Amino acid sequence: MKYLSEFRSPEIVAALLKEIRETVKGQWQIMEVCGGQTHSLVKNGILNMLPSNIQMVHGPGCPVCVTPVNLIDKAVHLAVEHKVILCSYGDMIRVPGSGMSLLEAKSKGADVRILYSPLEALKIANENPDREVVFFAVGFETTAPANALSVIQAKQSGIKNYSILTSHVLVPPAIAAIMADPECKVDAFLGAGHVCAIMGMSEYYPIVEKYKIPIVITGFEPVDLLEGILMAVKQLEKGKYLLENQYSRIVEAAGNTSALKAIDEIFEVTDREWRGIGEISSSGYGVKDAYSAFDAMKKFKFDMIESHEDASCRSGDIMKGKIKPDQCPNFGIKCTPVQPLGAPMVSSEGACAAYYYFNRLLVEETLL
pLDDT tens digits, one per residue of 326-344: 999 999 999 998 888 888 8
pLDDT at 362: 47
Rg (CA), the chain: 21
Residue 192 lies in a domain: no
- Report how far apart, in Å, the C-alpha atoms of 235 and of each of 13, 37, 146, 230, 239 are: 20, 20, 36, 9, 6
Q: Tell me if 169 sits within 8 A of 175, measured CB to CB.
A: no
Distance CA 49, CA 299 (A): 51
Which CATH number does the domain housing residue 140 bear? Answer: 3.40.50.11740
Query: What are 21-50's pLDDT values in tens digits?
Result: 999 999 999 999 999 999 999 999 999 999
Please choose, from the candidates 243, 183, 205, 173, the residue with its C-alpha nearest in 3D space to the C-alpha of residue 29: 183
The domain total for the chain is 1
Residue 160 lies in a domain: yes
Pairing status of strand 28-34 against strand 162-169:
unpaired
Residue 100 lies in a domain: yes
Cβ neighbours of 265 (radius 10 Å): 14
Residue 131 lies in a domain: yes
Containing domain of residue 74, as a range?
Answer: 65-170+255-299
pLDDT at 1 over 70: no
For 148, the 3-state DSSP assignment is: helix
User: Could you tell me the pLDDT band of residue 309, with boundaries at 50, 70 and 90?
Assistant: confident
Q: How distant is the alpha carbon of residue 306 from its chain centre?
A: 24
User: Could you tell me the pLDDT band of residue 347, with boundaries at 50, 70 and 90?
Assistant: confident
Residue 109 lies in a domain: yes
Residue 78 lies in a domain: yes
Q: What percent of the chain stands above pLDDT 70? A: 95
pLDDT at 367: 33
Residue 127 lies in a domain: yes
The least confident of 10-14, 15-19, 30-34, 90-94 is: 90-94
pLDDT at 155: 97
pTM of the model: 0.90
Residue 48 lies in a domain: no
